Amino acid sequence: MKTSLGIWAFGPMITRFVPGGYQPEHDYDREPVAEKVHRAVEGLGDLIDGYEFHYPAELCAENLNEVRAALRSHDVYCIAGGLHLDARFGRGGLVNPDPAVRGEARRILREGAEFAGSLGANMIIWPGSEGYNYPFQAPYADSWRWLIEGLGEVAEICRNRGVALLLEHKNSE
């Protein structure tokens, strides 16, 4: 059994209840990801086998070498599709009614799956901003079709690259 932890847990921990985060005295938004990783590895040592990163906001080709150095003997366990971190996808990415926005979301997730494959990591999708909050807010049949089509594209890449694709449940909202 492996243990892993999302590096986002070492950020400001902003919630809808505490929008400024639980530690407003720290400027976590400006802290480079490699420094967060270093802090996590120093504090947790061998309690954690690998770390999870949102793609492309937390881990991408541009910062990969710095993050790998900070990981030391730990690995990149999982690449998470981080669409919910991008304001463009506030009305959803894979289910967005705008075809251009949906296309961009699919592109990012496809790239994330390819990136996970190049690292030998898993891929996880959390549909945090997908869907609707109120009845009749979204075209249900279209939204479902768009979601399945988008997930299908990512699943095909993952299958071809030998990447385990995980779908994380959405436990709130």
Band of residue 142 on the pLDDT scale cut at 50, 70, 90: very high
Q: Which helix (H) or strand (E) holds 5?
A: strand 4-6
Amino acid code (one letter) for 39: R
Q: Is residue 173's pLDDT more than 60?
A: no
What would the mean pLDDT of 87-107 be, rounded to a whole number?
96
Instruction: Record the pTM.
Output: 0.90
pLDDT of 5-19, one tens digit each?
999 888 877 777 888
